[in-house]
Amino acid sequence: MESTLLSAVLVGLVGVFCMLDSRLLGRLNFEQPLIGATLVGLVLGDVQTGLAVGAATELVSMGLVQVGAAVPPDMVLGGIVAAAFACLTGASAETAMTIAIPVAVLGQLLGIVFRSIIVFLGHLADDAIEKGNFKVAYRMHIVWGTVLYSLMYFLPIFVAVYVGTDVVQAVVNMIPDWVTNGLNVASKILTAYGLALLLTMMINKGMTVFLILGFALASYLGLSVTAVSIFAVVLALILMSLKYGDGSGAAMASAGGADPDYDPLEDDDED
Amino acid sequence: MAENKIQSVSKNKKIWQFFWRSWAIQDSWNYERQMNMGFLYGLVPTLDRCYPNENDPEQLEKKKEAYRRHMAFYNCTPQTSAFVLGLSASMEEQYAENTASLNPDSINAMKTSLMGPLSGIGDSFFQGTIRVIAFGLGVSLAQQGSLLGPVLAMVISIIPSVLITWFAAKLGYEGGNAYLQKLQSGNMMDKVMYVCGIVGLMAVGGMVATLIGATTPATFSDGTLVIQDILDSIMPQMIPLALTGAMYALIKKGVKTGWLLVICIVGGIILSSLGILA
């Protein structure tokens, strides 16, 4: 039981580190399921499991981005808790995914509660400014904001890992094969969902061809995502200079600019 | 006009302050005014230097006014916020030196007008492009069990973040207005969005083909005709493409996130039990 307590604290601290990435480090992306789950694997001594759960949860969360006030299901919290369960109980990455999702929804709700509580800090800061207590005002941000956001991750992770491991272990042992196989397929569909969600934010009119090009390069030619990205950067830079008239394009445009009626395709019939 | 001596400090130190404090801007993100306290926190060193003497009632009033000013609603990508912090700080200093030189309302007006474009460009660059590529690569390596995956993902994420924040802070403080006009006239924003759009979409296309990996174990009657082989001869990774398309259609139809997750899990178990997908 002591080791469970220690594990719960360690995993909780991993969660705090990930959360503070977006709070204090401008979201350098430590707050991503892949990183959180891998760190959990490191502190619990099972890196491979952490990586596997991290990769699976990361794929689902690809499309989940906090835009404005809408808080998506918190797959970072889900990934951290799921990785802890997988490491502590020996469950597979697919099984862990089913733990990740309810935890992510719970995290979403907690996120809403905490972000509402912080509204009050804002009003306390307003009052402090009126009284000339400037330090009190900005400490609402840098001290109390940090504390509240840390608790928002530490508490649920600690409780889930400390109390939940035995329960989850028992449930995992009862899962029949058809469920395990089904969850394996489900994790693939979830990945498709994550990518589709990403696409809803990215596809603009006339840009779908690039999606198809990227897919075709990888599926027919067997290129890796790295290779596709490199081709994409080169292609995008070429197209940009054509579209916006940089470089040689600009030279041509300015040559044409000397005579506003100049049209290289125009026939010289009237001469 | 009251004499107002601004405490001086080296320019580099100021830029580093904007740098770190723009990264900390989400520390008290809330529903009401979002990053308001974060923005104030970013300007605290500047404001404290502008109004150092709290015993002077006039300065104290000015200081309160300035603090109140920056408690207004603010929301923008942290990295590009460094630009807004730098520009606001230079405007606050100008106003503190000579109150007639600037209408303080114009500071918040500038902030409000920059939030939209800078978070649009910042989010599509950091969240839409860098994150997608970094973690697309990271996941494909992690799936092979390599610790290099998360490490590489972080390296790709951190480098542009550091560079952009630092230059944004520097440009914003040293003459934000001039750069801003240049940026807008040269349709720089459109260019960045266009390039990010192409790279992001192609990377996602590659991920659809490499990361999902769903196949069908189904065969025709006597087991001699494997459906997966037929599909592969037409287009490899056709099933992942179809799954992504189907999920895209469901999202576009406005099906709620919770239901979609249920559909994924229940659908996966059913399709697997029927021997359609593996």
Q: How far is CA B180 from CA A17, B35, B175, B186, in A?
A: 35, 22, 9, 10
Tell the burial category of B58 from Cβ atoms under 10 Å away from its Cβ (0-12, 13-18, 19+): exposed
Location of structure tokens 């989940």: A64
Among residues B172, B226, B7, the alpha carbon closest in space to that of B97 is found at B7
Chain-chain contact of A196 with B247 (C-beta, under 8 angstroms): yes
Torsions phi, psi for B107 (to 5 deg): -65, -50
Q: Is the pLDDT of residue B15 over 70?
A: yes
CA distance A270 to chain B (A): 38
Q: Under a CB-based contact definition with an 8 Å cutoff, are residues A118 and B29 in contact?
A: yes
Confidence of residue B18 (pLDDT cuts 50, 70, 90): very high
Spell out where chain A has E strands: none
More confident residue, A30 or B120: A30
Among residues A65, A253, A204, the alpha carbon closest in space to that of B194 is found at A204
Measured between alpha carbons, how far is A265 from B276 in angstroms, rounded to an integer? 56
DSSP state of A70: B
Measured between alpha carbons, how far is B36 from B39 in angstroms, rounded to an integer? 5
pLDDT at A4: 85
Sign of CA dihedral B273, B275, B276, B277: positive
Measured between alpha carbons, how far is A133 from B44 in angstroms, rounded to an integer? 13
Q: Residue B142: which of A24, A29, A55 has the nearest Cβ?
A: A55
Structure tokens at A30: 């430590």
Give the A window 201-240 contacts with B, CB below 8 Å: 201-204, 207-208, 210-220, 223-229, 231-233, 235-237, 239-240
CA dihedral in degrees (B223, B225, B228, B230; nearest 10)? 180
**How is chain A split among helix, strand and coil, in percent rounded to 5?**
80, 0, 20
pLDDT at B245: 94
Q: Is the pLDDT of residue B3 over 70?
A: no
Chain-chain contact of A129 with B64 (C-beta, under 8 angstroms): yes
Structure tokens at B179: 């750069």
Measured between alpha carbons, how far is A109 from B48 in angstroms, rounded to an integer? 38
Measured between alpha carbons, how far is B168 from A23 in angstroms, rounded to an integer? 19
Q: Is A137 on the interface with B (CB under 8 A)?
A: yes
Here the ipTM equals 0.79
Measured between alpha carbons, how far is A207 from A217 in angstroms, rounded to an integer? 16
Structure tokens at A141: 């941000």
Which residues in chain B touch residue A118, judged by CB atoms under 8 angstroms apart? 28-30
Count of C-beta atoms within a 10 Å radius of residue A1 = 7
State the amino acid at position B2 in one-letter form. Answer: A
CA dihedral in degrees (B154, B157, B160, B162; nearest 10)? -60
CA distance B231 to chain A (A): 12
Taking only the tens place, the pLDDT of each residue in B157-188 is: 999 999 999 999 999 998 766 766 666 666 77
Select the residue from A17, A23, A29, A239 to test the B interface by mutation, using most B Cβ atoms within 10 A: A29
User: Along the 271 residues of chain A, how does pLDDT read in single tens digits?
Assistant: 457 899 999 999 999 999 999 999 998 999 999 999 999 999 999 999 999 999 989 988 876 654 444 556 788 999 999 999 999 988 888 888 878 877 887 887 788 788 888 888 988 999 999 999 999 999 999 999 999 999 999 999 998 898 887 776 676 677 787 887 887 788 788 878 878 877 887 787 788 999 999 999 999 999 888 788 889 989 999 998 898 875 544 444 444 444 444 444 544 444 4
Helices B188-211 and B148-185: crossing angle in degrees, nearest 10, is: 160
Chain-chain contact of A25 with B235 (C-beta, under 8 angstroms): no
Structure tokens at A254: 């300015």
Select the residue from A20, A51, A150 to test the B interface by mutation, using most B Cβ atoms within 10 A: A51
Q: Under a CB-based contact definition with an 8 Å cutoff, are residues A72 and B127 in contact?
A: no
